[in-house]
Structure 1
């Protein structure tokens, strides 16, 4: 009779979660990489279950090779999250070759697991680097940059780096620690991975807009702005041209109230004004002195303050209507509006209404 452990029941839950996630994300091409990650996770937990319970005698270890698989797959998820143009091309499959080759060496599982841990740390670090670059470029293209920053993914990656290091310690201490302690440690590691994957699935299903990503053109434009005039390379005559272009752009933005479009992007603004994306980004960065995201949200904030100051109703009525006014001005959520309001004015909207002279 097979004695099932708590880890085995968690493995069953993990397999169920992975299959459910694949089913929920099946029709959306934006989550191709995540479906591969979930599929690999389901296979890993299946082999874990089989190897530990011995319900089927495989005669050979499979699971160590998965340690070389998870890093590249998670990197692919991050790449698809931040790039709207990312496709699973044949050249990307080369990253999975080490996992396939390692199947020949699973007679020495400790060495394969050590290589897998190193691989994961490298790929998680590359993912963090890509996210930091994305977060620098994002405000140059999107007015809802704060919502799309993917800080939560970066935090997950740091946690994964920590978990990989702790798990490496567990593997190396196995010959020296009591079995009970090792089993509990193993359960905690699996539970950590389970919670991380569950969070990924929940965010992907509930907030798919977070995975919109930037096109190659937007990323190239963002880099050119960051590496260009932002580093003081603009000449005086170019600055004058930028000021003139910005004044014309600002006039159109206000006459058409374009800042009120909730998810306004640089591309949207170019379509409405007839100006080039590169010219708009350059004009805002030089003529306004900040990025696209800051410019658009500053116009929204000015609109809200203007409405609050000019409205004739009582302050209590204004508080009731405050969220409606913010959403009308183009803000996506109450939290982002409150955060921006406090950062620019040094107080919350409620405090502003309370302190404003009657």
Structure 2
């Protein structure tokens, strides 16, 4: 009876999962693009609650379903990624198909190793598909937005890869249980859970701080930006690309469009009447740069111009950067160093000495 009520450190960690799941769901569910993340947190909250009840022998004698529930994790990660890039959830027969394996596994949950092995393979497949989708989205962002650094989801790519690594390690843990002591097995399990908990906390903090992502009503449509205009692509005409780019560049410079913090290809399209697909194609072909790099290079030159014009004494370096169109210190520092091979502060000091 004493063992029945004994609480272990891993059980306390499971309680933290439950709290994080409830808190994160309440925090993120109201934002349409983040509902997939909220669903992931809710999933872990329910899973850890069932794990806790099973390990305390409260529900295990009656039912044992957590191995089957691991088959839901892959689809949830994939739908979370789709939601983040703007393919919003719609209940239909295809969604139900993703749930069927979980239902089919329920009668076989006592074959824990087999079920979790199948679930791990499923998770890796779904993560691979999610990575492909996120890569397309990031490519699209950097070719259509000048504030891509604040909207990109590269961090989510890395997060999913870390989860995939943990899932594989956890599968190894289950299959070597007979070869390890209970102490090693227990600590291994605790470390796996702790790593996943840290990743979920990171996701909640990252999304709560990424205000540009949260505030953007609709993400750019991948289908409109990833595939370039067929006529131009088939022509592969560098002269035509240069002609279009010259027109684009002239419009950007004439109206100083690069000073707009959230400049996109749609803004240039409205100014030049050139299709957004053709704008991306022309810039890529004529400059070997994506749209984001093209605009940021103009902004860096504007900062250099302001410093050279001796107007910097009344403004801080960050003020000059913001006036040039940058909307974050990290984006400014990264772009400036990439195009000048110097940090902004080092360049400013060198400029001051030169005077």
TM-score norm. by structure 2 comes to: 0.89
- Larger deviation, residues 194-203 vs 139-148: 139-148
Alignment of 1:150-229 (within 5 A): 150-210=153-213, 214-216=219-221, 218-224=222-228
- The question of 1:142 aligning with 2:150 is answered no
Q: Contact conserved, 1:67 with 1:113, CA < 8 A, in 2?
A: yes
Unaligned stretches of 5+ residues in structure 1: none
2:261 counterpart residue number: 262
Q: Contact conserved, 1:260 with 1:329, CA < 8 A, in 2?
A: yes
- Alpha-carbon RMSD across the aligned residues, in angstroms, is 2.3
Q: Contact conserved, 1:75 with 1:123, CA < 8 A, in 2?
A: yes
C-alpha separation in 1, matches of 2:305 and 2:107 = 70
Q: Contact conserved, 1:300 with 1:329, CA < 8 A, in 2?
A: yes
Deviations 1:319-343 (A, max 9, x none): x621101001111212211121111
Q: Contact conserved, 1:85 with 1:214, CA < 8 A, in 2?
A: no
- The question of 1:24 aligning with 2:27 is answered yes
- Larger deviation, residues 113-122 vs 280-289: 280-289
Q: Contact conserved, 2:150 with 2:212, CA < 8 A, in 1?
A: no
Q: Which has the higher contact order (CA 8 A, sep 6+)?
A: 1
2:336 counterpart residue number: 341
Q: Contact conserved, 1:138 with 1:222, CA < 8 A, in 2?
A: no
Unaligned stretches of 5+ residues in structure 2: none
Q: Contact conserved, 1:259 with 1:300, CA < 8 A, in 2?
A: yes
C-alpha separation in 1, matches of 2:63 and 2:91 = 31
Q: Contact conserved, 1:33 with 1:88, CA < 8 A, in 2?
A: no
1:123 counterpart residue number: 126
Alignment of 1:327-338 (within 5 A): 327-338=322-333
Shift of 1:11: 0.7
Shift of 1:115: 0.8
Shift of 1:86: 3.1
Q: Contact conserved, 2:232 with 2:278, CA < 8 A, in 1?
A: no
2:300 counterpart residue number: 301
1:84 counterpart residue number: 86
C-alpha separation in 2, matches of 1:353 and 1:38 = 46
Q: Contact conserved, 1:106 with 1:112, CA < 8 A, in 2?
A: yes
C-alpha separation in 1, matches of 2:61 and 2:316 = 66
2:104 counterpart residue number: 101
Matched positions, count: 347
